[in-house]
Structures are given as structure tokens and as C-alpha cells.
A and B are shown apart, each in its own frame.
Chain A
Amino acid sequence: MVSLIEMPPQTVTQQIPQQEDRPINETDGATIMIDVRDVDFAYGNNQVLYDVTLDIPAQAVTAFIGPSGCGKTTLLRCINRMNDLIENARIIQGAIHLGGVDINSPKVDVVDLRRRVGMVFQKSNPFPKSIYDNIAYGLRIAGVGKRSQIDEAVEKSLRGAALWDEVKDRLDEGALGLSGGQQQRLCIARALAVEPDVILMDEPCSALDPIATAKIEELIHDLKKQYTIVIVTHNMQQAGRVSDHTGFFYLGRLVEFGTTSKIFTNPSERRTEDYITGRFG
């Protein structure tokens, strides 16, 4: 396992830092947002992740690639503890720290964690409500009741997801009437509305045509100025286009992790090269 980012150990802070405290991205390296250490993960008796260690830099795009069943989605879903929903799924050992805080510690409320770590799913899942209500959903459950505040957030999120111009005249129409690409961007906007620090994307373009895919990739490129993005993808070209760092997973192990240019042009591992050049997977 090779890690190209050499970072000093993270100082552990007691509180989850607020957004304004977030360290500014340095040019020469990166501040670590998510720190995955020695993680073993299993569904019941079926271990799917072995000793995964990697550092996800803030305000950058990190891609997980690898063949189906290699554990990349599982790791992604560990970051916002979505795996809590699955019976008997658990981290056997190791820890994931977000901004220095162990996300699995009993002190961390999973609801707060998920508000900080948004997620976009493989199959776009807009709620069968109006476009407006989809975006407002996260705010309303967080207790925001003021109409003006919600209005503002809806516009801001839709602009952030490059969807505003397409839907501004039909905010009250059902979200299910949008095209597939628009639905996926709506899901991104919905995640942006609660102002998370991290956005996890689980193969967000796998069901989209090339034009819609290009739009989302462009969007990801814009979003990384503000957000830490982790994207799981099957599409190698996509990883090459959008990500700054790439991790290659195979059979539950992180084979190689480094800057995308290094992984794609000069991988250290034979298996990475074979996968990237399409010799297997």
C-alpha cells in the first residue's frame, strides 16, 4: 500500500469544527478532512474491507475505483454511517475520523454526522414531492421554518447544482417529472441545501447519458472549491477527469492510493496498471 500524501498526524480536536473554522486548502499538499485508519469491515461473517488506510484531503475530489464487489461503496457508506442501516454490518477494527473526531464514537450523533456528510446515490432518489419541497426537506427537518430563509437556500442550492435556470419557473412541479440527469442534479442540490462539509457520491452518473454525465462532472469540478468530495465510480475516464486523488480497490483491499495523475500515468502496483489499462475488471 502506497500513500503519496505524507501528512503529519492530525491533532485531535474535541469538537467538530464549524465551517468557518475549516482550514484553507494549501497548495502544496492538502488538509485532511477524512482519515481512514486500518478499517476492517464485515457484513455478518463476510468481511469485505481489509485494513484500509487512506487520507481524504479537504476541498478536493477523491475517487474510489475498482471492480464490482471490491468494497469501494462499502467504504463510502462507512463515512456517513449509512451501513448502520444494514443488520450485522460493522467495522471490526480501525476508525474513521472526520475533522479529527471519531465518527463511530458514542459521543457522535449519527444525525449530526449525516448533516455534515451529504450523500448522492447511484440511483437518483428525488422524493415524490415538488422540486421546492425536495430541497427544503433537509432544512425543514433541521428545524428551519422561515419561508424567506428556505426560499433563499432553495435558490442557492439549485444554482450550486447548476439546475436553477432549468427549473426556476416550475419549482412547484413534481420532481419526478425531471429528466434523469436533472433528477440527479436535484439530489446534489438537496444535499447542498443543508450545507455539508463533505459530499459522498456513489456512482452518480452510472444511469446517465454522456451529456448529463458531462454536466455532473463539470458540477463536481465547481463544487470542490467549497466541499470535500468523495466519488465512487466504475468509469475510469471519469475518475481521471474529475478527481485529484484516486484510490484503487481490489478484493476489499486498497491496492494503491495517490494523486490521480500518478495513479493513471505511473502506478506503483502492477494490478493498478492492469485495471486501468483494461486488462481486467
Chain B
Amino acid sequence: MSTIAIATKATKRGHIAEGFVFTMFRIGTYFVLLCATYIFLDIGIKGGQTVFQKTAPFINVKFLTEPPQTLYVFDYQGKKMELSDREFREWKTTHKEDVDVTSVSYSAGGIWPCIVGTALLVIGSMSLALFIGISCSIYLSEYARDGRFIRLIRVAILNLAGVPSIVFGLFGFGLFVIFFGWNVSLLSGWFTLGLMVLPAIITASEESLRAVPQGLREGSLALGATKWQTIRKNVLPYAMPGILTSSILGIARVAGETAPIMFTAAYAMRDEMPWQVPHWTNFFFQGVMALPYHIYVVSSKIPQNEYTERVQYGTAFVFLVVVMLIALTSILLRERQRRRLSW
């Protein structure tokens, strides 16, 4: 009689252990899924109420195109009034009677300056980080010969990637804001954020450069091209899409970080838009509002009530959508890239 069909004690134990471990893995996965769903639903539903509306044009245009204003809430002739700063002053000109007003900061109007400010911070810091990062990666992967000094540089880059963002913020504050005297400004923010994403960009660029086959370099050099001609015409163009797509994830990080900009670039409230400057040079030395900092301010710097919750969730929702759009672009670009270039 065959013994294969009879499960021994040992195999039984094995099956029990396996079942237990599988269940643990499954629970872990479901837990992640649950958390993510909860976060997205919570922000989506609550924020959606601010950003969308039931009547045409279905999107709360004011929220996306106006600066934040103080909200005035009061009872007037048995009706509950919710007026923004500007509306309230207009209303006052026609109604002379005294009313008992509750004012809530930032809870009327919109977040347009924050969207603009975040866009400016992202564009500036990414341009800076891409320029320095690509130069650095070309040096490291194409020119530098391996040695103790190069290894030291690589360790330094790795360490830079591990520095907490608040430390970058303080560093930027000390160096750019105070020592260079740039004050709280776009320029200080660009450099601080740029330095923060630099390690990610260098790593991504180096990988993309290394993915370009050596045969293309040799083929070019064998035709009498100099090293720089080879890199510029026959290496960098093929590495560039990879560098850019990987860097888009860096954009999400730059857009999202609060700590590096809170001392260097962000204003809680500013009435002028960034382009309303007396002279073009002033553009670089002005502070801006930014989405993550605005969330921080409206969630922790002002008294909380039902009105502040609207702007908190609305901002978070817009912010999330912006970051998701950026990530989506990155994924689409990379897929297109993979189809187009193959060797």
C-alpha cells in the first residue's frame, strides 16, 4: 500500500504553518488597502464638497481662482449669512445696523495663490536640481574614473538622500535666508528644495545614462567624436526621457514637502500675486503661498470649526489631485518611452 496518501504529522504541521503565514500576509495587504481607501475616500468626499457643487458649472471656480479671505458668519433677520471679507464690506455699506459677527480666517475665497506658488516652487527647484543633477551624474558616470574620491562623493550623495526635510529647511534658512540675505523668498525655496531632491535626480540620471548601451558610445567615438560630442549627441538624448520621467516623481516630493519651505519660501498669507512686483528682480526675492503650507496653516494655526474644515479638505483634495496628475504623467511618459526606445 502506498504511503504517499497518508499525511504524516510533520506535513500536517507544515500545512498549518503555511496557512497561518499566508493569512498574515493577506491581512497585511488588506490593511494597506483599507488605509489607502479610507484616506482617499475621506479626502475625496469631504474635499469634493468644497471643490464641486451641485449647480453648473459643477466646479467651485471661486475656490480655484480666488485668494483666501476671511469668512464672516452672522445672523441677520433670522437668516444665516456667510460672507467673504469683500462681500461683507459691501454688505456693510448698505446695512448700517450692528450685527454679531464671527470671523474665520482663510475660510472664504479660494486657494489660487497657493496653486501658483507651488507651481513656481516646483518649476524653479526642479530646473535647478535637473541642471546640477544631470551635470553631476554625467561627471560621475561618464568622466570620473573610479577611485576613493568618487566613492566618497557617492557616499555623500547617499547621505544627502537620508537627511530629514526639516533639516534641509533649517539649512536653507541659515544659508540662503540669513547668510546670503535672500530673506524668505522664491530663490531660497528653490535652492532648498532643489538640494533636497538632488540625490534622487542624480541617482535616476545615472541609472538612465548607464542604461544607454556602451556600443553606442564606442560607435560614436570610433567615428572620431570627442567624448563630449558623444555624450551630447549619442548618449544624453537617449537617456533624457528616462531622466525626466524619473524626475517627475521628484516633482511630487518637491510639491509635497512643507518643512523645507516653511522657513525659506512660504507665506501664510499674501495679498499680491507673485507677478505683481515693482521690478522683475523682485520676483525672485518674494515669498509665496504654497499648498502644503496652506494645509498646515489652516489645520493647525487657526481655531478649528466647521468652516475651516471645508478649506482644509478642499485644499488637501486639490493637492492630492495635482500630485496624482503628476504621477500619472510620469507613468504614461515612461510607458511611451519603453515602447519607443529598445535596443
**A-side interface residues toward B, CB under 8 Å?**
80, 82, 85, 87, 111-112, 114-115, 118-119, 121, 123, 125-128, 137-138, 140-142, 176, 187, 190-191, 194
* Given A128-B341, A190-B223, A191-B223, 15 additional A-B pairs, CB 8 A: A80-B222, A85-B218, A87-B145, A112-B224, A114-B223, A119-B222, A121-B218, A121-B222, A128-B216, A137-B233, A138-B223, A141-B226, A141-B233, A142-B224, A194-B223
Once bound together, how far apart are the Cα atoms of A112 and B223, in whole Å? 9
Contact of B215 among A87, A125, A140, A190 (CB under 8 A): A125
Are the C-beta atoms of B343 and A114 separated by less than 8 Å? no
Residue pair A121, B215 in contact (C-beta under 8 Å): yes
Are A82 and B218 neighbours in the complex by a CB distance under 8 Å? yes
Given A128-B238, A194-B224: A121 and B219 within 8 A (CB)? yes
Q: State which of A85, A123, A126, A141 has its C-beta within 8 Å of the C-beta of B224.
A: A141
Contact, CB under 8 Å: A125 / B219: yes
Give chain B's interface residues, CB within 8 Å of chain A.
145-146, 213, 215-226, 229, 233-234, 238, 341-343
Bound complex: CA A125 to CA B212 (Å)? 12
Distance between Cα atoms of A82 and B219 in the complex (Å): 10
A-B contact pairs, 17 of them (CB 8 A): A82-B222, A85-B221, A114-B221, A118-B222, A118-B223, A121-B218, A125-B216, A127-B219, A127-B234, A128-B343, A137-B220, A137-B234, A138-B225, A140-B233, A141-B220, A141-B223, A141-B233
> Shortest distance in angstroms between A105's beta carbon and chain B's nearest beta carbon?
18
- The answer to whether B233 touches A191 (Cβ under 8 A) is no
- Enumerate chain A residues within 8 angstroms of B146, measured Cβ to Cβ: 87
Q: How far is the CA of A128 from the CA of B238 in the complex (A)?
A: 8
Q: Which residue of A lies closest to B342 (CB)?
A: A176
Contact A123 B229 (CB under 8 A): no
Complex alpha-carbon distance, A141 and B229, angstroms: 7
A residues in contact with B234, CB < 8 Å = 127, 137
Q: List, in ascending order, chain B residues with CB within 8 A of A138's CB.
A: 223-225
- Contact check, B343 vs A115: say whether CB atoms are below 8 A apart: no
Complex CA gap A80/B213 in Å reads: 20
User: A119 to chain B: which residues have CB within 8 Å?
Assistant: 218, 222
CB distance from A98 to the nearest CB of B (A): 14
Closest Cβ of chain B: how far from A44's Cβ, in Å? 12
Report the minimum CB–CB distance from A85 to chain B (whole Å).
Answer: 7
- Residues of chain A within 8 A of B221, CB atoms compared: 82, 85, 114
Kindly count the residue-residue contacts between A and B in the assembled complex, taking CB atoms under 8 Å apart. 68
Contact A111 B222 (CB under 8 A): no
Q: Which A residues are CB-close (under 8 A) to B342?
A: 176
Residues of B within 8 A of A123 (CB): 215
Give bound CA distance, A190 to B221, whole Å. Answer: 12
Q: Which 7 A-B pairs give the minimum distances between C-beta atoms?
A: A115-B224, A125-B215, A138-B223, A119-B222, A125-B219, A114-B224, A141-B225
Residue of B nearest to A80 (CB): B222
Highest count of chain A CB atoms <10 Å: which of B145, B220, B342: B220
Q: Which residue of A lies closest to B234 (CB)?
A: A127
Q: B222 near A191 (CB under 8 angstroms)?
A: yes
A128 to B220, CA, bound (A): 12
Q: In whole angstroms, what is the CA distance A63 to B213 when docked?
A: 27
- Which of B216, B217, B223 neighbours the largest number of chain A CB atoms within 10 Å of its CB? B223
B residues in contact with A114, CB < 8 Å = 221-224
Q: In the complex, what residue of chain B is closest to A134 when comparing beta carbons?
A: B219
Q: Nearest-CB distance from A160 to chain B (Å)?
A: 15
Min Cβ gap A87→B in Å is 6
Chain B residues near A142 (CB-CB < 8 A): 224
Chain B residues within an 8 Å CB radius of A191: 222-223
Are B224 and A127 in touch, CB under 8 angstroms? no
Distance of A31 Cα from B170 Cα, bound (Å): 73
The interface residues of chain A lying within 8 Å CB-to-CB of B217 are: 85
**B222 engages A127 (CB within 8 Å):** no
Set of chain A residues within 8 Å of B145, measured between Cβ atoms: 87
Residue of B nearest to A133 (CB): B233
Q: Cα distance A75–B220 when bound, in Å? A: 20
Residue of A nearest to B230 (CB): A141
Report the Cα distance A187→B233, complex, angstroms: 17
A187 cross-chain contacts in B, Cβ below 8 A: 219
Using CB atoms, name the residue of chain B closest to A116. B224
The smallest C-beta distance from A206 to any residue of chain B, in angstroms, reads 14
In the bound complex, CA of A114 to CA of B221 (Å) = 7
Chain B residues with CB under 8 Å of A85's CB are 217-218, 221
Residues on A with C-beta less than 8 A from B229 are 141
Query: What's the nearest-Cβ distance from chain A to residue B234, in Å?
Result: 6
B52 to chain A, nearest CB (A): 46
